Structures are given as C-alpha cells and as structure tokens.
C-alpha cells in the first residue's frame, strides 16, 4: 500500500515536471508564431482556421481520482473472453476488456504499463452464461437479441436490474478498473419486447453514471447515437462501433468538442477471423480517412473483438 502511494506521488511529480516543460515549450512556440505573424501581416489568409488539436492526455484524472480521457489516445478493444497473452505484451493508452473474464492482476499489469483500463459489461442485456445470471427475474427479460444467442433485452427501468448493475459496478471498482463500458443501452432501437424508449435509456445512463462516479470510476456511452445530446454532459467518453459504416460519425462530435475521447472501432473484415489477412489499403483508408472522425481514436478489428487489430 505505502509502496503504491510512493510510486503515485513520484509519477505526479513527473507529470507536474512534464507539464512545466510543456508550458514552456508552448509559450516559446506561441511567441515564435506571434513573431512570425507580426512579420507577415501582408499575406493575410482568410481561409477558415484549422481547429487546435487537443493533446491526448488519456491519463487525466480529476481531484476525486476519476479518469477523463481526452481525444486522440490509442486504444485496443478485446472482450472475447480473457485478454490473450499476446495482447498483454502490447502497449496502448487505453484497454477495453471484459469485466467478468479478467482478474484484477490483468488489470493492474496493464495499468503498470501506463494504460488505463475500461471494464466492459452488458448493462442492457441478460447473458445466460454470466456468473450472476440467476439473479435476474424472468419478468425483467424481453426478446432475444437478434444474432446473439443466449442474450435477451432487459427492462432497464426495473430496480431489480439496476441493483444487479450496481453489484457489477462494485466489481469494477474492486478490480480497480479506471472506467466502465455499459453495453446494450440502445434497446429502444431494437425489437426488444419491453417497449423501451430513448427516455428510458437516458434515465438508465444517468443512473449508471451516478453509480460509477460515486465509486470514482469513469463511464462511457456505448453507441446509442440518438441520445448523445442528452447524455454527453454526464458521461466521460464514448465507445462507438461502426459509425463509418452507418455514416453517423459526426453525431459523436459533441464528445470531441467537450474534450472527451471517442473510442471508435470498425469491422472492415466483418466476422473474418483469419487473423493473418490484412485489410486492403483502400478498405483501411475508407475507415481511417472517413469524414467526421477527426480526433477519434480509431481501430480496425474483427467483429469477434479478439486479439487481431490494425491501427490507423
């Protein structure tokens, strides 16, 4: 414990030192730019100014210790069971991994490499294979998720469902995750059998967000494009699948405008798990150069979200 505290304070000093250096460099650059500008007043350029990129600081934490990732960091998304050994060796700013299938030592070893860890769980669906599956009552279960056998939509307004999710968020805190990714909050877009609405989803996000923040965990919005403007202020980042494919990336721009990371994944190979097969350069460019994705953290994965990855 005391060992940990020591290394924390050392890191903080390092950060403060680095911030100092960055400030000095920024001032110097600013001065340089100012001087250059003064010297070239004549060639006034009326084209719109390029927005200043927000430097990636994926390890930002606030006074309460809650992590607030800025846009632009690297990430990997592997929720197909426990993190593979080969993945454990790779370095990313952010890892998004399964809450149930990974032990605390996996999480702490990634954090030891300087990464932040988002713990994934399904908040809007019942998954029959989870260790807490028997805690759900039948009356809270809706239709099966199309294409996901063993999963059924949940009544997200039910207190019994919410209590189970509190226990899951407690587990994330116990395992020292930095944040959580509650998946499947967009049941309203699907044939859910429970008459779920966007209002239900927004109220659920508010509930989950309060619960996460009370435990000093950050929280992201998963997909759910329709409720971005309602919840962008109360979540800390978003995790998006396939906004290029569905031509809705600009819908998530409010996150970037608020200095919040957009962790974005596309599946250019679909379910092709032939991991030796690289994505063609045109398919890759289609994702990596897609409009509306400026400052997103974009990766290319298999739909299975196994260890295969290409970065932009």
DSSP string computed for 262-307: EEEEE-TTTT---TTPPPPHHHHHHHHT-TT-TT-EEEEE-TT--S
Question: Which has the closest alpha carbon to 227: 255, 194, 259, 264?
Answer: 255
Is residue 17 a contact residue for ligand NAG (CB under 6 A)?
no
Q: Is 194 in the site for ligand NAG (CB under 6 A)?
A: yes
Among residues 133, 199, 210, the alpha carbon closest in space to that of 169 is found at: 210
Q: Which is nearer to ligand NAG, 8 or 246 (CB)?
A: 8
Q: Near ligand NAG by CB under 6 A, which window of 20-28, 155-163, 244-252, 294-302? A: 155-163
In angstroms, give the least distance from the CB of 262 to ligand NAG: 19
Q: Which of 2, 3, 36, 47 binds ligand NAG (CB under 6 A)?
A: 47
- In angstroms, give the least distance from the CB of 103 to ligand NAG: 20
Q: Is residue 192 involved in binding ligand NAG (CB under 6 A)?
A: no
Residue among 26 and 277 whose Cβ is closer to ligand NAG: 26
Q: Does 158 bind ligand NAG (CB under 6 A)?
A: yes
- From the list 70, 155, 251, 307, which residue makes contact with ligand NAG (rule: CB under 6 A)? 155
Sole binder of ligand NAG in the list 20, 65, 112, 150 (CB under 6 A): 65
Sign for the pseudo-dihedral over CA of 19, 20, 26, 29: negative
Binder of ligand NAG out of 88, 162, 213, 215 (CB under 6 A): 215
For residues 306 and 294, give the distance between their C-alpha atoms in angstroms, rounded to a whole number: 26
Q: With CB under 6 A as the contact rule, which of the stretches 8-16, 146-154, 268-276, 297-305 interacts with ligand NAG? A: 8-16
The yes or no reply on residue 70 touching ligand NAG (CB under 6 A) is no
Nearest-angstrom CA–CA distance, 298 and 294 = 10
Q: Evaluate whether 300 touches 270 at the Cβ level (below 8 Å).
A: no
CB 111 within 8 A of CB 176: yes
CB of 81 to ligand NAG, least distance (A): 27
Please report whether residue 1 would count as binding ligand NAG according to CB under 6 A.
no
Query: Contacts by 157-164 with C-beta closer than 8 Å and gap 24+?
Result: 157/200, 157/203, 157/204, 160/136, 161/136, 162/204, 162/207, 164/132, 164/135, 164/136
Which residues, 230 to 289, sit near ligand NAG by CB under 6 A? none
Which of these ranges, 9-17, 31-39, 275-283, 293-301, lies near ligand NAG under the rule CB under 6 A?
9-17
Whole-number Å distance between alpha carbons of 120 and 239:
11
Size of the site for ligand NAG (CB under 6 A): 18
- Residue 16 binds to ligand NAG (criterion: CB under 6 A): no
| Least Cβ distance, residue 64 to ligand NAG (angstroms) | 5
Rounded to whole angstroms, how far apart are CA atoms 187 and 193?
9
CB 71 within 8 A of CB 261: yes
Contact status, residue 267 vs residue 292, Cβ threshold 8 Å: no
Q: Is 90 in the site for ligand NAG (CB under 6 A)?
A: no
Dmax (CA) for the chain in angstroms is: 73
Among 114, 135, 233, 311, interactor with ligand NAG by CB under 6 A: 114
Residues 260/70, Cβ–Cβ less than 8 Å: yes
Using CB under 6 A, list all residues that contact ligand NAG: 11, 14-15, 18, 43, 45, 47, 59, 64-65, 114, 155, 157-158, 194-195, 215-216
């Amino acid at each position: 414990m005391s060992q940990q505290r020591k290394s924390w304070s050392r890191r903080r000093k390092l950060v403060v030192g680095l911030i100092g250096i960055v400030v000095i460099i920024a001032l110097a650059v600013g001065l340089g730019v100012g001087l250059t500008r003064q010297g070239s007043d004549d060639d006034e350029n009326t084209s719109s100014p390029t927005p200043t990129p927000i430097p990636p600081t994926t390890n930002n934490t606030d006074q309460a210790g809650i992590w607030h990732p800025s846009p632009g960091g690297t990430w990997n998304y592997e929720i197909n069971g426990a993190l593979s050994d080969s993945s454990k060796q790779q370095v990313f700013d952010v890892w998004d991994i399964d809450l149930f299938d990974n032990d605390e030592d996996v999480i702490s070893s990634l954090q030891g490499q300087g990464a932040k860890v988002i713990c994934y769980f399904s908040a809007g669906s019942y998954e029959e294979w989870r260790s807490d599956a028997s805690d759900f009552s039948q009356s809270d279960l809706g239709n099966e998720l199309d294409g996901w056998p063993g999963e059924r939509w949940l009544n997200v307004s039910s207190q019994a469902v919410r209590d189970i999710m509190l226990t899951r968020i407690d587990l994330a805190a116990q395992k020292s995750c930095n944040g959580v990714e509650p998946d499947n909050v967009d049941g309203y877009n699907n044939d859910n059998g429970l008459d779920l609405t966007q209002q239900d989803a927004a109220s659920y996000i508010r509930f989950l967000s309060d619960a996460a923040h009370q435990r000093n965990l950050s929280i992201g919005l998963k997909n759910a494009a329709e409720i971005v403007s309602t919840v962008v202020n109360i979540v800390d980042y978003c995790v998006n699948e396939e906004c290029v494919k569905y031509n809705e990336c600009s819908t998530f721009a409010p996150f970037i405008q608020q200095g919040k990371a957009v962790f974005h994944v596309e599946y250019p190979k679909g379910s092709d798990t032939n991991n030796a097969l690289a994505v063609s350069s045109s398919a890759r460019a289609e994702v990596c150069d897609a409009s509306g994705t400026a400052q997103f953290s974009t990766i290319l994965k298999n739909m299975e979200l196994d260890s295969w990855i290409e970065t932009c």
